[in-house]
Structure 1
Amino acid sequence: MKVAIFASGNGTNFEILAQKFEDNELAGKLTLLFCDHPDAPVVTRAKNHHVPVRAFTVKECGGKLPYEKKIMELLKEFQIDFIILAGYLRVIGPTILQNYEEKIVNLHPAYLPEYPGLHSIERAFSDHRTQTGVTVHFVDDGLDSGPIIVQQRVPILATDSVETLERRVHECEHQLYPQAIKEILLEINKKEQNDQ
């Protein structure tokens, strides 16, 4: 099974997942990093792991539809079976969704349906909540609304700042996401073997 990771930023989750693919802890082959910010640090991380990188922006494609079509061409070129979103800050549109139904997973830094969208950690913190969380879910055509795979609570401590909370949310992500992906990929492999 050929896997692509989509990312937009620093790439700490990419780093952990890439290492787990290298160590054969995750079923499948990490075949592509797609990034919508060509200068993002995740691009360097991918190159260090010898993962092929393709990076382009919506603007240089002339809009969302041609951007999505170009991504679809990429996915066909690399024969991608499964997509992992790891800090990819764009909504996946229908062009890709209809070809990858229940084959795209996302990691969200909140306990959905609480705080969908951007700045989830900051919003939970500024609302003086006592806890937030992390969610792994399949991607659908809504905003962080797809079927939930697994969730974990992260307490918000009285001593927390946004930075310390963010650090602990990321620590939770780094544990939860690889484990969830491992189980999903094994399940897909099992299904495919049964179908043959």
Structure 2
Amino acid sequence: MRTEPLRIAVFASGSGSNFQAIADAAMAGRLDVRIELLVCDRPNAGVVERAKQAGVPVHTFRPKDYDSRETYEREILTILQQKQVELVVLAGYMRIVTKVLVDAYWGRMLNVHPSLLPSFPGLDAIGQALRHGVKVTGVTVHLVDGGLDSGPILAQRALDVEPGDTEASVAERIHRIEHRLYPEVIQAIATGSIRLEDAANKPKEDGTAP
């Protein structure tokens, strides 16, 4: 059993509502983690101010200042290792993650996605779902494997699409679910209820290992 909080880093690009939900849960004692770092590719993003208000160290960068994704990820990886980060939490991070980080944190990097994967991966998942006329959509928390929202699924929660729903109305309810589900999954990892080594080694549908 762990005696110290789980050391995590949150990666985000936007307003940071999921970051805030995680930080609030930690400050309220519902989440046995210590947020060691926020990583953000947009120095002026709202999440940066949220992190400062929460007392979380921030690393910002501009991708255009680097000659490749791998270059800035190696820089980030060095900081993560210095801070002994155990779990990377992607929370609205709008960059493609390369093998530099995926390999270093295989089985220890999470993402939250606004659909019931494997349906509607990628951008505009809510819009994709509504254009397909689905009656049920939802939220998925999964491990990151370097593919397009293709890693092993850790948890899902469904949401009924009601007549007259718009992308905005569905998105509002999706975000409320994310803000509850993501901290719950992180806490389950922190307490050992979810064993990431088991999820990471789970055979894929074709019978092969990840």
Tell me which interval the TM-score lies in, with the shorter structure as reference length.
over 0.9
Percent same amino acid at aligned positions? 38
Query: Which one-letter code corresponds to 1:43 in the other structure?
Result: V
Q: Which residue of structure 2 lines up, in the alignment, with residue 102 of structure 1?
A: 107
Aligned positions, number: 191
Q: Does 1:167 align with 2:172?
A: yes
Under a length normalisation based on structure 2, what TM-score does the superposition of the two structures give? 0.86
Are 1:184 and 2:205 matched, yes or no? Answer: no
Q: How does 1:98-137 map to 2 (within 5 A)?
A: 98-137=103-142
Equivalent AA in structure 2 for residue 35 of structure 1? C
Question: For residues 62 and 127 of structure 2, what CA distance do their matches in structure 1 show?
Answer: 26
**How big is each residue's C-alpha offset from its partner over 1:106-152, in whole Å with a ceiling of 9 and x where there is no partner?**
10000000011111011111222112110001111211111100111
Deviation per CA, 1:160-195, whole angstroms, max 9, x where unpaired?
11111110111111111111111012118999xxxx
- Per mean C-alpha deviation after superposition, the further-off stretch among 182-191 and 168-177 is 182-191
Report the secondary structure of 2:168's partner residue.
Answer: helix
Give the aligned residue type for 1:132: T
- In 2, the alpha carbon distance for the partners of 1:115 and 1:34 equals 26
The TM-score normalised by the length of structure 1 is: 0.92
Q: Match for residue 22 of structure 1? A: 27
Distance 1:185 1:13 in 2: 18
Q: Of residues 33, 44, 51 in structure 2, which corresponds to 1:46?
A: 51
CA contact (8 A) 2:188 2:194 kept: no
Task: Pick closer, same or farther for the CA change 1:156–1:188 going to 2, 3 Å.
Answer: closer
1:10 matched to 2:15? The reply is: yes
Structure 2 CA distance for aligned equivalents of residues 89 and 172 of structure 1: 20
Which of 13, 36, 61 lines up with 2:41 in the alignment?
36
4+ residue runs of structure 1 moved beyond 6 angstroms? 188-191
Any unmatched runs of 5+ in structure 1?
192-196
Q: Structure 2 vs 1, CA of residues 188 and 53 (structure 1 numbering), >3 Å: closer, same or farther?
A: farther
CA distance in structure 2 between the partners assigned to 1:20 and 1:99 by the alignment = 27
2:66 maps to 61
**Given that residues 137 and 159 in structure 2 are in contact (C-alpha distance below 8 angstroms), is that contact kept between their aligned partners in structure 1?**
yes
CA distance in 1, matches of 2:18, 2:53: 15
Determine if the alignment matches structure 1 residue 72 to structure 2 residue 109. Answer: no
Corresponding residue SS for 2:150: coil
Provide the secondary structure at the position in 2 that maps to 1:98.
helix
